Chains A and B, each alone.
Chain A
């Protein structure tokens, strides 16, 4: 990939680069080795501690351990994420439409609601759902995720619509479509397509945020890791942390790759070609700067 910011490296620059890479590689390896030794000095690599995944103590089977992590734990994580994503998409769409409404008394309250939802921590919303509204744990988690993410999705969709060339709506009005028809049949489909990468990255965020459920006691992956640690004893916490982190990163990474793939595909096919997709990306980051 060439960049206009600098020339393609010449032979000398390439040599320097190679040397630099080698040095950097050695430094990174050195740091990793240091970390390995430090952990070793605390007996974290002791095989007995890792056996909790192959031959656990306290009359549990390895299958139980893995099932509690991958089926029960990850399952609960994905379930909460999937349910919240669907509801948040619908609510977000409605909010986006209401926010684009011509009538002030619809537009303003919607804007206020979005600002309000966007400004509260997801944990607090979950906590509020469970403690104050008395929702069951699962609904509480979904409540927190939906409230926040629907506000963000609404913003992404709005940014997508704003980024479309005005010709689109002008043409729609010219052939006699009403405002609602224009929005639903012309603008939104293009906006969704254009913002697909942002929408998918927001999904990754949503998936990550399910882990906040552990603070209110939702038995998702992180909570399972914690419960297993408590059950087997604190001496296994590091092992569970490593495996848990690996599972999370693997799942989220897959989703992120999907976002990149969609982005590439979108760039090729999007109505306005490359330039438009770039612009949409900028608009997208603007809307989703909150995307974390």
Chain B
């Protein structure tokens, strides 16, 4: 699939060069049918701007197993990363020209509002509080909050068993907030990052770790035989792509791209190359065009 995207990008670049040479860069450049992106964007739209710039800045997490991790070589990997590449590809931008910016839970909204990133693909749950300040395309995945305990634990089988227990989660995250509001009987232990919860869980300093099932699955995969997930997901975490509020054209463009990728198998391919190593391939969610 790398080769295919590269080909598209190459053709797009060539087309752009040719068009520029003609001094006529509007809409008559009907290239080969495989290259739908570049010429079709309305002048002045975000898509046209990004396409013209030939690069896009994507905010993603660098610390979510399976979704967004960065290796020592500085190259991010994961499902979020692949999704961002699909979108960039449709804008005529190849993956070398994507600038990756690490976003943490707390700075995603400000980064979008101040234009420091063009889009955020960062296990970013769509919710109403956030919609006040940013807009969301997608969802492209539906996660759910779950509970992870030690392999030998048998007391905790779901969120209702958490009463009187200590649960670790990352401060400033939606799962942590949900435990506080919906399961006030449980004691929340706030960590700096989810991965920091693992040592305390191992040492018995906390009874459980909670966050989205996909992230927990990544931990289980990295530490075979130590932890397990219990019960069913007890929340819906639709992961969306954050973008500047009010840019409806861009939002519907990304929604189109996502729907296309659900249908033509690129979404599934991205899943299998990343999270699919641990999790089964789910059905793609339905895009919410609010």
Contacts and interface: CB of A to CB of B under 8 A. Distances in A.
Are A and B direct contacts in the complex by CB distance below 8 Å?
yes
Contacts of A215: 192
A64 interface: yes
Contacts of A130: 107, 110
A237 B63 CA distance: 14
Interface stretch (A32-40, A113-121, A226-234, A281-289): A226-234
A234 B219 contact: yes
Interface bin, chain B: 20 to 34
Interface in B59-109: 62-63, 65, 69-74, 102-104, 106-107
B113 A134 contact: yes
A64 B65 contact: no
Interface stretch (A65-73, A161-169, A263-271): A65-73
A290 interface: no
A58 B78 CA distance: 14
Given A215-B192, A217-B103, A237-B199, A231 B70 contact: yes
Contact of B107 (A65, A131, A235): A131
Interface size class of A (residues with CB under 8 A): 20 to 34
Interface in A65-121: 65, 67-69, 72
Contacts of B71: 58, 60, 64, 231
A217 B223 contact: no
A61 B111 CA distance: 32
Contacts of A65: 72
Nearest to B195: A230
Contact of B222 (A67, A137, A226, A233): A233
Contacts of B127: none
Contacts, number: 72
Question: Which of B62, B72, B102, B223 gathers the greatest number of chain A CB atoms within 10 Å?
Answer: B72
A61 B74 CA distance: 12
A259 interface: no
Interface in B256-289: none
Contacts of A229: 195
A216 B104 contact: yes
A64 B72 contact: yes
A217 B110 CA distance: 14
Interface in B193-244: 193, 195, 198-199, 219, 222-223
Contacts of A230: 62-63, 65, 69, 193, 195
A234 B106 contact: no
Contacts of B73: 60-61, 64, 68
A235 B193 CA distance: 16
A183 B71 CA distance: 53
A68 B74 contact: yes
